[in-house]
């Protein structure tokens, strides 16, 4: 009898322990909150040590520092975000939104190796780049391509690639695993050799700043870090053929600080057929819409009062990953024409409008707008801005 009672008691204890454990696990799962990527911006007087302490105390997990905006990209639970938001040291907490390459789907297949003979493509001819190389080829001007990276071994680019940075994974190279960034780079600065294509400025110094992944998307925090790297490493012009529909204050601050550092920022307007995307919609950025071979606005091109200039963006043949070439469309392809033009007017000092030996971003924009081919309604309009960029006019007029 005592033995049976002992077995019963033991069984009940085990059962109770199992129930308790199950309840504890249930409570534990119930309390587990999903984490989201956020950008935490601190007030100017809060030093780095205090920033780290506040993030750790809230239970956040730092992804990266964003010094250009006095912030950090952080993994936060909803409760951790609420706790941080109450702190007086915090200026704001922004969403770390996704940003995308602004390329249109195109079914034209890649041209494989061996390398094809060189051609002057219709778009390079349209902006009168080839007429300008006796004046400037952009030699020594530093241009950052903030994108999916660049094919570092492409024979039509590699001599112009002088460095770069991978903001997604700093331990890896900024080699392009998508193709978009390589296509953009070719429009800016493909070599004037005997193969493939020629860029707007065939001797521009290219820097691959990888912020988008193999699928052509990425996080805003990586884009901000890319801008930070561009400023710290002396880029004179950056090309941003990417965008988001969300106006995030941290993005605005990063763009403003880059502009204040004297960097000319050129961005694709977007492929929505409607409103201009960010960062192109910011005042500090040269926003570029896309035109076709008839100098007509592309149906997909975003439009609005933010547009500064237009450039070719339909059926653009350029370099692509894997040492190949491809024809793509999009405002992504239009923006690098203006980027290349900006680099050449800087090189030729044709943008020093006040004769102080400095070309400010505003002076670069003004020079390119003054010399553009007016399209659409007379003067500035919501489709073409001041008109089609014309490099030869910008260098000679």
Burial call 287-321: b when 16+ CB within 10 Å, e when fewer:
bbbbbbeeeebbebbbbbebbbbbbbbbbbbbbbb
What is the spatial distance between Cα 327 and Cα 71, in angstroms, rounded to a whole number? 39
Q: CA neighbours within 13 Å on the CB side: how many for 298?
A: 30
| Nearest alpha-carbon partner for 280 in 272, 294, 270, 291 | 270
Instruction: Indicate if 332 belongs to the active site.
Output: yes
Instruction: Indicate if 94 belongs to the active site.
Output: no
Residue-level length of the chain:
397
Angle formed by the axes of helices 180-189 and 331-347, to 10°?
A: 40
Catalytic choice (94, 96, 128, 147): 147
- Which residues have a Cβ under 8 Å from the Cβ of 262 and sit 6 or more positions away? 236, 358, 360, 361
3-state secondary structure at position 217: strand
Catalytic choice (136, 222, 332, 392): 332
What is the spatial distance between Cα 270 and Cα 306, in angstroms, rounded to a whole number? 12
Cα-Cα-Cα-Cα torsion 341, 344, 346, 350, nearest 10 degrees, comes to: -90
Instruction: Indicate if 392 belongs to the active site.
Output: no
Catalytic choice (154, 180, 183, 392): 180
Q: Which two tokens stand for residue 346?
A: 């800087």
Catalytic residues: 147, 180, 332
């Amino acid at each position: 009898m005592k033995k049976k009672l002992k077995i019963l008691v033991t069984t009940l204890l085990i059962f109770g322990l199992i129930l308790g454990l199950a309840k504890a696990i249930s409570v534990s799962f119930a309390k587990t909150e999903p984490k989201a990527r956020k950008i935490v911006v601190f007030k100017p007087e809060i030093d780095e040590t205090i920033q780290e302490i506040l993030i750790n105390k809230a239970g956040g997990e730092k992804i990266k520092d964003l010094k250009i905006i006095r912030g950090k990209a952080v993994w936060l639970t909803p409760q951790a975000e609420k706790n941080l938001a109450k702190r007086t040291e915090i200026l704001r907490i922004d969403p770390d939104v996704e940003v995308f390459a602004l390329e249109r789907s195109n079914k034209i297949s890649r041209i494989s190796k061996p390398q094809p003979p060189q051609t002057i493509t219709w778009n390079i001819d349209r902006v009168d780049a080839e007429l300008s190389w006796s004046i400037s080829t952009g030699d020594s001007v530093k241009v950052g391509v903030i994108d999916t990276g660049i094919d570092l071994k492409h024979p039509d680019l590699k001599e112009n690639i002088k460095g770069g940075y991978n903001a997604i994974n700093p331990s890896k190279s900024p080699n392009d695993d998508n193709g978009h960034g390589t296509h953009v780079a070719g429009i800016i600065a493909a070599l004037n050799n005997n193969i493939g294509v020629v860029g707007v400025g065939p001797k521009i110094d290219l820097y691959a700043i990888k912020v988008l992944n193999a699928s052509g998307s990425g996080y805003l925090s990586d884009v901000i870090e890319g801008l930070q790297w561009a400023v710290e490493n002396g880029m004179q012009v950056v090309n941003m053929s990417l965008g988001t529909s969300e106006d995030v204050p941290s993005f605005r601050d990063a763009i403003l600080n880059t502009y204040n550092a004297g960097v000319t920022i050129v961005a694709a307007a977007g492929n929505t057929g409607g409103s201009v995307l960010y960062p192109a919609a910011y005042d500090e950025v040269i926003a570029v819409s896309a035109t076709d071979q008839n100098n007509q606005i592309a149906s997909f091109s975003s439009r609005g009062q933010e547009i500064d200039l237009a450039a070719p963006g339909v059926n653009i043949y350029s370099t692509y990953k894997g040492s190949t070439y491809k024809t793509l469309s999009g405002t992504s392809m239009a923006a690098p024409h203006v980027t290349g033009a900006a680099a050449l007017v800087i090189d030729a000092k044709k943008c020093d409008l006040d004769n102080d030996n400095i070309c400010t971003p505003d002076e670069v924009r003004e020079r390119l707008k003054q010399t553009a081919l007016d399209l659409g309604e007379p003067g500035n309009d919501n489709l073409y801005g001041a008109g089609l960029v014309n490099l030869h006019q910008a260098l000679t007029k």
